[in-house]
Amino acid sequence: MSTDSTSGGAEVGQPPTAESAATGPLVEVREAVKYFPIRQGIVFKREAGRVHAVEGVSLTVRRGETLGLVGETGCGKSTLARCITKLHPLTSGTLLFEGQDITGLSRSQVRPFRRRMQMIFQDPYGSLNPRRRVGSIIGDPFAIHGEGARDERKPKVQELMELVGLNPEHYNRFPAEFSGGQRQRIGVARALALKPSLIVADEPVSALDVSIQAQILNLLEDLQREFGLTYVFISHDLSVVRHVSDRIAVMYLGQVVELAGSEELHGRPRHPYTNALLSAASVADPDQAAARQRIVLTGDVPSPIAPPTGCRFHPRCPKAQEICVEQTPPLVARAGDPDSHLTACHFPVAPGEDLTRVTATIPEEERAE
Amino acid sequence: MSLLEVSDLHVSFRTTDGDVQAVRGVSFELDAGRTLGIVGESGSGKSVCTQTLLGLTTGARVRGTARFEGEDLLSVSEDEFRAVRGAKIAAIFQDPLSSLHPLYKVGWQIVEMIRAHEPVNRAVARRRAVDLLGLVGIPHPAQRIDDYPHQFSGGMRQRALIAMALALDPKLVIADEPTTALDATVQAQILDLLLRLQQENGMALIMITHDLGVIAGLADEVMVMYAGRAAERADRRGLYYRAHHPYTNGLLESIPSSGAAGARLRPIPGQPPSLIRLPSGCAFHPRCEFAMDRCTREQPELVPVEDGVRHASACWLPGRLLGTTEEMKRARQDAGAAGRTVERVPGQSTGQDAAVEEGAA
Ligand SMILES: Nc1ncnc2c1ncn2[C@@H]1O[C@H](COP(=O)(O)OP(=O)(O)OP(=O)(O)O)[C@@H](O)[C@H]1O
Ligand SMILES: Nc1ncnc2c1ncn2[C@@H]1O[C@H](COP(=O)(O)OP(=O)(O)OP(=O)(O)O)[C@@H](O)[C@H]1O
Ligand code: SF4
Ligand code: SF4
Ligand SMILES: [Mg+2]
Ligand SMILES: [Mg+2]
């Protein structure tokens, strides 16, 4: 079996019940795994290892919500996002969209689903072809999905431009004539063209200054309210994620380690990695920045090619004990937490516990990598 | 004399649509051991300004001077420039993957860089490369030195780039969005590292970023840019607690605050101006809620707005409108009147003679 083919679950092809299609979660990911093979050799390419980019992720995205995705650089956020929007096939696991199993669908079978899920990317400069006019860029999805004759598209595109705050008269301009913020609006307009139900935004505002960023975030919020859109929102800027998200999933090395409502997560982070991450968030206030107590993580991010055993965070965790090296903690609600707050940790951080003072319980040498 | 003295720098690009005036008269100076943060509008000329110092804006028309240790970087020959730039001025850019060659081992790239500037043999250079990788916090540097860039994580690559930037013990490091692609914990580690190295080696640092949190944590002084010019300059507390320029205040108010999660953000309305057809007078006037007649006609220069501290703003509003953003909001109510008063009383607008109340900060 090739690594990239799928091994769907028992639900393949099973029709959704009418109820689940209407009220169930918009997206459901079960035990999603995505490996990238690493090949070496010039002539005979042999597989020298695999990047475990996403490993056993299960989560749901509810209709109309914004799910924030945060985590260590390289932990698999973009890969997971691309798996959800069918840009990458899953190595194993199941993907349900509107209650239907779409894991193993062929290219043509997936088409009607694909138009309902769109992505917005970080780089408003790189993702737009400089030689094409903005009107035709925004109209791309119509062309790709064979919607409307060429001359019918223009008014549709202009309506979209107006919707995202672009001047419809600029239909014939080139991307270079727009500012970074406007180019991001072009990306948003293109994503909206086919009236998707899901938009996955991967670092959509990271390249923009905070004022333009605020404009785009407000725009996304308005569009969500108007069209009942569901967002998956990826960013390294924790204040942005907190602002936009209803719930936040924290990832570490290919896995979700904590999942909770946005304010719940910020108020009572339970996983030691979440605690470290939130404590490192920069604050735009010099005095608060100086007074901040940061949990400093030792060691570097382990290799996703040979991830650590047990809890993947154990080589860097200030609370790690023997069991953490041996057993992977499940992502479940922990004692004292609401059902909607899930943590994958044997020894969750107690509210008020000060991790800046905890000293490692396993000596450095004994930590398996 | 400061380590770096940039004076009246202008940079423009000729395009088919007309001249793009990317930098329009920027001046600043920077002492050894200090950090200058540069923030501002996307496309306001932050990168062009510093890339010109590095000789990277080929094809641009450049005017002004940039004295580094007394020597004008903009008038030396290309060869001299390269020698100075490589050895004494180093740069760290956002994307470590595009700055490291993917087909060469990380260590080899550092070794070659050292050997291009110093007459040392390979073994010596390699030992120094190992030391540097250790210094920037790469675990087991003697083994990792023979890794290819793709074998490093994003944070490790960014650290490798810092190691490379520091290899020749530079006097000035220019970092353009060095941590934007990194998560908060790795970002914090890298900023700590830069600060530590600055304390140990006394290097000067220019930090360009959109992240006002990064600036709050490390800049000694901050320059806010808008449409190719400096809108405001202050030490960091002055900037965050007593901002003067309406654009600076607009930026500070646009940040999502943790207290008001879910509340509507308050961006500055409107779009950044075209750098080919700039607005008359103050380039910010089409978006400024305080704009007065004068703003549409006369371009404000950067002038002091506070007594006793270095704090300058390029805005016709009187200096007394200084304040925390809260005070600023209150002041806003009678701002229109204040502004117009200024218009009728020339001279007061410099803020020099307008009594400055120290902010509550
Ligand atoms: N096409 C690919 N081939 C091989 N490895 C890949 C590929 N895409 C991603 N990876 C690897 O998979 C892991 C997860 O990468 P991914 O881009 O999903 O991380 P991320 O969480 O989005 O990181 P960042 O915050 O830096 O954007 C990384 O180790 C990355 O190097
Ligand atoms: N080679 C070039 N030719 C024409 N215009 C250019 C060139 N390089 C830069 N510009 C323009 O100069 C202006 C300033 O660009 P610069 O990259 O300095 O902005 P910036 O402040 O760094 O923005 P960002 O925050 O988005 O990085 C922009 O309008 C840009 O389009
Ligand atoms: S399971 Fe153990 S190692 Fe993992 S986060 Fe919890 S305490 Fe730390
Ligand atoms: S000079 Fe006038 S338009 Fe410009 S920022 Fe000041 S008040 Fe606003
Ligand atoms: Mg990513
Ligand atoms: Mg830039």
Q: Looking at beta carbons, which residues of chain A come within 8 Å of B185?
A: 72, 276-277, 280, 297
Q: What is the pLDDT of residues A290-304, one digit of tens each?
A: 888 888 887 777 878
Nearest CB among B213, B250, B266 relative to A284 is that of B213
For chain B, the average pLDDT equals 83
- What pLDDT was estimated at residue B257? 80
Give the Å distance between the CA of A35 and the centre of ligand 3.
24
pLDDT band at residue B18 using 50, 70 and 90 as cut-offs: confident
**Looking at the domain assignment, is residue B270 inside a domain?**
no
Give the Å distance between the CA of A236 and the centre of ligand 5.
9
- What pLDDT was estimated at residue B29? 95
* Range of lowest pLDDT (B117-126, B169-178, B351-360): B351-360
B11 and B52 share one domain: yes
- What pLDDT was estimated at residue A364? 55
- What pLDDT was estimated at residue A23? 74
Provide, for chain A, the percentages of residues in helix, strand and coil under a 3-state DSSP scheme, each rounded to the nearest 5.
35, 20, 45
Distance (Å) of CA B328 to CA A60, B75, B339, B342 = 44, 43, 14, 17
Q: Please tell me the distance from the alpha carbon of residue B234 to that of residue A207, in angstroms, as a whole number.
A: 24
Yes or no, beta carbons of A209 and B217 under 8 Å apart: no
B213 and B243 share one domain: no
**Looking at the domain assignment, is residue B338 inside a domain?**
yes
B295 and B231 share one domain: yes
Distance (Å) of CA B107 to CA A135, A163, B324 = 47, 51, 48
What is the DSSP pairing of strand A247-252 with strand A198-202? Answer: unpaired
**Best CA proximity match to A4, nearest among A81, A66, A88:** A88
Number of domains in chain B: 2
Contact between A246 and A340 under an 8 Å Cβ cutoff? The reply is: no
Ligand nearest the Cα of residue A53 is 1
> Region B123-139: what's the mean pLDDT?
89
Contact between B231 and B274 under an 8 Å Cβ cutoff? The reply is: no
**Looking at the domain assignment, is residue B267 inside a domain?**
no
- What pLDDT was estimated at residue A43? 62
What is the DSSP pairing of strand A100-101 with strand A92-97? Answer: antiparallel
Domain boundary among B219, B249, B266: B219
pLDDT band at residue B23 using 50, 70 and 90 as cut-offs: very high
B185 and B37 share one domain: yes
B191 and B332 share one domain: no
Q: What is the pLDDT of residues B269-320, one digit of tens each?
A: 988 888 889 999 999 999 999 999 999 999 999 999 988 889 999 999 987 6
Kindly calculate the radius of gyration of chain A based on its CA atoms and give it in whole angstroms.
22
Distance (Å) of CA A29 to CA A32, A82, A128, A196, A241 = 6, 12, 30, 19, 21
B245 and B181 share one domain: no
Atom nearest to B183 CA in ligand 1: 25
Give the Å distance between the CA of B132 and the centre of ligand 1.
26
Contact between B342 and B309 under an 8 Å Cβ cutoff? The reply is: no
Q: Is the pLDDT of residue B356 over 60?
A: no
Chain A interface includes B184 (CB < 8 A): yes
pLDDT band at residue B143 using 50, 70 and 90 as cut-offs: confident
Q: What is the pLDDT of residues A29-43, one digit of tens each?
A: 999 999 988 776 556
- What pLDDT was estimated at residue B8? 97
For chain A, first and last CA: distance in Å? 29
**Looking at the domain assignment, is residue B126 inside a domain?**
yes
Pocket around ligand 1 at a 6 A CB cut-off: A 36, 51, 53, 71, 73-79, 304; B 154, 181
B119 and B234 share one domain: no
Residues 6 or more apart from B144 whose CB is under 8 A from it? B106, B133, B138, B152, B156
- What pLDDT was estimated at residue B330? 57
B175 and B243 share one domain: no
Pocket around ligand 4 at a 6 A CB cut-off: B 245-246, 282, 284-285, 288, 290-292, 295, 300, 315-317
B233 and B211 share one domain: no
What is the DSSP pairing of strand A247-252 with strand A255-261? Answer: antiparallel
Where chain A has pLDDT below 50, the residues are 1-20, 369
**Best CA proximity match to A127, nearest among A172, A81, A185, A69:** A185
**Looking at the domain assignment, is residue B263 inside a domain?**
no
B81 and B103 share one domain: yes
**Looking at the domain assignment, is residue B202 inside a domain?**
yes
Give bridge partners of residue A28 from the DSSP assignment. Answer: A60, A96
B247 and B193 share one domain: no
CATH number at residue B303: 3.40.50.300
- For the residues of A87-121, what is the DSSP string, one character each? SS--SEEEEEETTEE-TT--HHHHHHHHTTEEEE-
Supply B137's token pair: 């916090």
Q: Hey, whose CA ends up nearest to atom 1 of ligand 2?
A: B13
- What pLDDT was estimated at residue B102? 82
Q: What is the pLDDT of residues B213-260, one digit of tens each?
A: 999 999 999 999 999 999 999 999 999 999 999 999 999 999 998 666
B236 and B313 share one domain: yes
pLDDT above 70: percentage of residues in chain B = 85
Give the Å distance between the CA of B180 and the centre of ligand 6.
11
Yes or no, beta carbons of A282 and B17 under 8 Å apart: no
Specify the pTM: 0.87
**Looking at the domain assignment, is residue B264 inside a domain?**
no
Supply A45's token pair: 């390419």
Tell me, rounded to whole angstroms, the distance of Cα A351 from its chain centroid. 27
- What pLDDT was estimated at residue A147? 81
Q: How many CB pairs under 8 A join A and B?
A: 154
- What pLDDT was estimated at residue B307? 81
- What pLDDT was estimated at residue A40? 64
Q: Is the pLDDT of residue B66 over 50?
A: yes
> Region B114-120: what's the mean pLDDT?
88
- What pLDDT was estimated at residue A97? 95
| Eight-state DSSP code of residue A298 | P
Report whether residue B43 contacts ligand 2, using a CB cutoff of 6 Å.
Answer: yes
Contact between A88 and A2 under an 8 Å Cβ cutoff? The reply is: no
Domain that holds residue B70: 4-219
Q: Is the pLDDT of residue B7 over 60?
A: yes
Predicted ipTM? Answer: 0.84
